[in-house]
Amino acid sequence: MLCDELTAEIKRLQRLSIRGLLALVLFLGVSMCAWWNFPLLPVPDTVIALLGRPPSARVISTVLLLYTFSALILSLSRMTTGVEHRSSFSHVGYLTAFFLFYYYGKSLEDNYWAVFGAGITILGVESYRIWSYCAEGMAKKREDLEYVTRTGRPPPEE
């Protein structure tokens, strides 16, 4: 019974460990669409006529800079405290919004690499954080599983 629970937890952590990479792949897909100027979206003039002018590129860049530092600090603090935060897909949404603001502000060409660099940095750190959390958890559960199979008793609590 306990061996089955430990094995199930190891498998759960294995599945969870790739979530950061999946978010990174999704971001790369969005980045490709941004590189091609979002061919499936309406042209900026149509949206500007409907919603009004977007913020200036300087304002968007300032918010991008604040967001990047905040996301990195949050991710690093989660890493040091060992918090199980399963996903980094929200970062893909925020970064997509930056691409869209620049696109509709007609300044995507000038700011593409800023968003792309911020995204790779944030999602790279998040991917490593999730992977290292899961690797550490799997190592602990494997030790517990080995102890249970060797002794037939539950592992001692730490």
29 three-state secondary structure = helix
156: pLDDT strictly greater than 90: no
Show Cβ contacts of residue 92 under 8 Å, excluding neighbours closer than 6 positions: 23, 26, 27, 30, 119, 123
* 8 A C-beta contact, residue 3 and residue 149: yes
* 8 A C-beta contact, residue 147 and residue 9: no
Q: Mean per-residue pLDDT for 86-101?
A: 93
pLDDT 10s digits, 97-144: 999 999 999 999 999 999 999 999 999 999 999 999 999 999 999 999
Q: What's the alpha-carbon Rg for the chain, to the nearest Å?
A: 21
Q: How confident is the model at residue 158 (pLDDT cuts 50, 70, 90)?
A: low
Q: Mean per-residue pLDDT for 16-32?
A: 95
What whole-number distance in Å separates Cα of residue 23 and Cα of residue 91? 8
pLDDT 10s digits, 47-83: 999 999 999 999 999 999 999 999 999 999 999 998 8
Per-residue model confidence (pLDDT) at position 55: 94
pTM of the complete model beyond 0.85: yes
